[in-house]
Each structure stands twice: as structure tokens, then as C-alpha cells.
Amino acid sequence: MDDQAEYDRRFARRVERDSPEWSAFLRPSADHGFLSLDLSRLSNQPGAFLEVRTEELRLSVFLATHHAHFDTGDEEQQFRECIQFVRNLLQERVVTLQVYQGERLVATDACACDEVPRIVEALRRERARSQRTRWQRFTEWFTLSPKPATRSSEAAEIDGPGGAAFCLPPGRDQGTPAAPCRVVISSWHGKFNEEILLD
């Protein structure tokens, strides 16, 4: 048996041990050769998508536009943290943030629900503040790296009261006026559903 198949079997056993109610959603991906744990049907939201994949001997969680990898630490830690992250998503302890510039997705992130009020307040403060000095250094980076962002590392963090908060890239495109940015905050069952426009 190859390494991928062994890895898949170990993850399946861990799911059956820690979250047996998910076992029915485990399926091998015939086309791509990895194990899929597709929990999309557990949502009451139309079009919801939540899948864990074991592709390339690492765990990846895909949730709508956001994805996260669990590939640091030993295998035990990866399995434990991935399963806990999915539990937190399903129990709406974690929300996702999608940042759009016009209609283009430029960054995504996930955070604990209790961080939402602080993040929303930080975003509103940034909206009211001049962007020139704080985001000037990000403008050059963003225009020189026109690749789409899919992880929070593609955005920047700002230090504010209570610690770091989510902050947007500058929203510039080769010197043209910035398109308005909007941040969509949402949770698995729709408990959190807010959109903030940043001019």
C-alpha cells in the first residue's frame, strides 16, 4: 500500500474515533487519489461547501472561498487541530472573512467569533482614516505582486488595541484609482452575516 493510502486510512480511523458522526461522509476521490470528508450537507445554507482533503499527505479544509492547511507539527497534531477547526466551524465558533476589491477576491481569513466585534471596529477605524501613510508601503507590494490572494498571509496585520487585527491590502492597481473594498463576514449556519464597505 502506498503512502497516500496509508495516510488516508490513518485519518479515516481518527475521524471514526473522534467524530464518528462524520464517518458516513468519508469518500475516496477516485479521480485524484485522496480521501475526502465532505460535510457540506450539514449546513442549512444553500450552496454551502465544506470539505477536508488528504491530498499530498496533508490535510486541507475548503470552506466556500477560504481554505486552510494543517501541515505543521506531527501527524497527531495535524489530525487533532484539523478536526477541532472543523468542529468550531460547524458550531459557529469560527467565522470566515472574505475581502473583495470590486468583484475580485483579494484575501480570505478565518477567526474566532469572539474576535468579530474587534475586527469590525478595526475595519471601521481604517475606513475613516487616511490610507496614504499607513498603506503606502503595501501599495508597491500589491502592484508588484498581482497574484490573487487566498490566504491571510496575502493581507497585512495592524497592531491596535487588544492585539493584531485584520487589515486590507491597499486596493491599488498599477496607479489607477482604487476600487471600493468590502469585507464579508460569515459563519457556517448564518449566525454571522455582515458586509462592510471600505471606500
pLDDT one-digit tens code per residue, 152-177? 333 333 222 233 333 444 444 433 44
Burial classification of residue 8, based on how many CB atoms lie within 10 Å of its CB (0-12 exposed, 13-18 middle, 19 or more buried): buried
Q: What b/e sequence results for 148-173 when a residue is b if at least 16 CB atoms lie within 10 Å of its CB, and e otherwise?
A: ebeebebbbeeeeeeeebbbbbbbbb
Interval 70-112: pLDDT, tens: 999 999 999 999 999 999 999 999 999 888 888 888 888 888 9
Q: What is the pTM of this model?
A: 0.72
CA distance 7 to 23: 16
| Distances, alpha carbon 192 to alpha carbons 12, 91, 111, in Å | 31, 12, 12
pLDDT band at 181 (very low <50, low <70, confident <90, very high): confident
Query: Which of the residue ranges 13-22, 67-76, 131-140, 159-168 would you say has the lowest mean pLDDT?
Result: 159-168
pLDDT given at position 177: 45
Comparison of pLDDT for 193 and 161, the residue scoring more: 193
Alpha helices (H) in the chain, listed in sequence order: 3-18, 75-90, 116-128, 132-144
pLDDT band at 28 (very low <50, low <70, confident <90, very high): very high
